[in-house]
Structure 1
Amino acid sequence: MKTARNQPRPRPLRWLPAQWPADAAGRRNMALLVQLRWLAIAGQVATILLTHFAMGITLPLGSMLVVPCIAALMNVGSLMILRRRTDITHAELFLALLFDVLALTTQLYLSGGATNPFLSLYLVQVALGAVLLHRWSVWGIVAVSTACAAILAFVHRPLYLSGALEGHLFDLHIVGTWVCLTMVAVLLVLFMTPINRNIQERESHLARLRQQAAEEEHIVRMGLLASGAAHELGTPLAQLAVVLGDWRHMPQIAGNPALIEEVEEMEAAVRRCKSILTGVLMSAGEARGEAPEVTDVRHFIERIAQDWRAANPGMPLRCDFGPHDYPRIIADPVIRQAVTNLLDNAREAGATYVNMMVSRDSQWLHITVRDNGRGFSPDMLADVGKPYRSSKGRQGGGLGLFLVFNVARKLGGRVDASNGADGGAMVQLRLPFATLALEEDKDGA
């Protein structure tokens, strides 16, 4: 167990989501090529031995068996690379397919050249290249394949048939063509389907990244606008506070208890406005890292609840921490703002009471806000967390949950929204202790 030092230095928050998957479509496609090469190796060895020993067709066994051995070494090297890497480059996929084309060319050269019915296996490499490679690379595979096929028509080691097979070369060619066609069809179905799925997953991943980038740009603009407005409002609020202080000492007001009470109420309102502006600036990042708050979860949540009750008198808010022990955390202002947004959303949705339930397991802190309001509509649940998607029906609504979702995502957590069985809405904010905790403990839920 790691313990906190006397003067703990806050760890920087993780501003890249820990749950983002690696863009490993190239790695998965290379793994499929390795599987295809293993099948090719097994098929080549079986075909060579069957043709030479069972059919009595003389083949250069030594030379032809060297090719699958080299392919096996290629596969071993590819697997070692796959274990160390999270993705494979386009150039590496191109070289892998080019190796398979040259290996097939070598085998065809040693077994009849263009007269070998397995010449059609070039189409498998071309089809794989059309799916996996860029345009120039695909045409490179096409050019190499057609050039090799053309060369094999003139340069090859001829097959010699003897005994019962003598004079039946055409019949053997027809049977071999059927076998090759069946192999090509089966291989294309077996391998093109998962390759297409890998490509679709990659495109979906890139689309999610683009969406997140657009949302984060939107948040940056909102933060700049809020920060600018906070700075602009700070000066008139300060002047108003000075004026109210002067009023308090004026004889006309000092001798009138009713006016004194009104001045005190206005001063309290000014202090409240200053506190809100300070929170806006901190949430915008201007105060981040300057004075980090090291506290425990219970105290942090209770203070949020206390401030919210003070700002919303008459609205019941119950906090339930359950039978858990909580570690000390570095409480970032954006977490406070996210929890406050959840509470504000519950109030604005027509709730007459709000429950905030806090729990934990070995890795996550769970903060759940439950209310008895209108709940989420089916359309809202489908788009929950997107900007300007709100059930309140007012212009500019829907930013509260949008900010909560993005705060959770940036801290490596997640947000789940649902409706309660007896009505109302329930939103759970999950944050990882790996990001928040000042010290790691081994206690579970």
Structure 2
Amino acid sequence: MTAETTLTSGRAGRVLGRRDHSGPAVGGRVRRGTLNTIRWVAILGQLLALFFTHFGLGYELPLGWALCAVGTSALVNLWASRRGRASSRLSDREAALYLGFDLVELAALLYLTGGLNNPFAILILAPVTVSAATLSRATTAVLAVLAVVAVVVLSLWHLALPWPTPGFSLEPVFILGLAAALALSTLFVAIYVFSVAEEARRMSHALSATQMALDREQQVSALGALAAAAAHELGSPLGTIAVVAKELARDLPPDSPFKDDVQLLLSQSERCRGILASLAAKPEVGGGTPFDAVGVKQLIEMTAAPHRRHDVDLTIQELVLNSDGNMVAPKVPRRPEILHGLGTLLQNAIEFARSQVEVKALWRDGQLTMTIADDGPGFPSDLLGHLGEPYLSGGDQGRGGEHMGLGIFIAETLLARTGATVSLANRREGGAQVTIEWPRGPLSDTD
């Protein structure tokens, strides 16, 4: 499956990701060697079953024709093995042809050995199960239909199984019930396994995007610290150059041909000092080293700064209510998880607010509760219970939403790593509200 994800956050109506959603599994998911190995195991099992039934149990099977079917499967597998490296991955179409052939070969073998009277008829479910777990929805549907057709055909036409008791045969009603059970089981397995596998794949892609966001935040923090260190190290030699340039400018006579050059050197050294000073200051404004502790209000201001709008008023309130009477607000670490997760939710609120965003932080005995409220349109009521699910799709009234949920999912996942829980709601007076709660310990221990 291909997935191209933009780590842009937003309300339910904002585009949060872009991916191929035609099916959860497209080309490149199944290794050629895996299907070849499965087929060799199936061929070995078929040979053992045929020989044991024919020679061990004494059933007179059409062994020649049955061995032709198994031999054809072996030849096809040899040909498939030579077509490419075992580590190469098959496209959805190639894997479908693999499994489709296996289904037809198994149906032919069952036709020769009693049809649905053969207890191994249950193996018809195997190719459909593999497809549902790894291939696309369309491929799985085609293979499921092919399996159902095979079940129906085998229930009506097949060579009789040579029972030891002459004239013995299963009741037609039993065969009909068995056919119905196999057909329904095929459909159920296809739908159930496909749904579970799709959810697992979605979660895997969303967690990968979350890790990418965290890695990026850590790289930005590390780069800021590196810039500050470089500015500090370069400051001393640059200061020496400036001092020497000033002394040269003072000692040179007014009519010296080097006067202009020295003045240029002095002005450029001052310019470099200004650049280094700004580099050293930026980490302090934008986050500093990753785990420095700051006040909650400062943390909110620095995470909201890149997303501020001139037409939206951002107000921040911090309140401390401790049972011991201590009114000093603890500090929180500037961890990448907090910076990116909180920044995503603040960007969300600022982007969709009409004119006001209110952030309130309440400390109570080491527990921090933060609410982010805006006066925008709020979350879509029909999607409110599903926001935060990866790749939630749907339309937001007037917003042109396409793919939703990934940004909020990333924010929730990152904040959960710090011990926080996130809840989303719509305000009674209009607008959206996000509540973030940290229990006692994860943040208060860092001050």
TM-score, length basis structure 2: 0.39
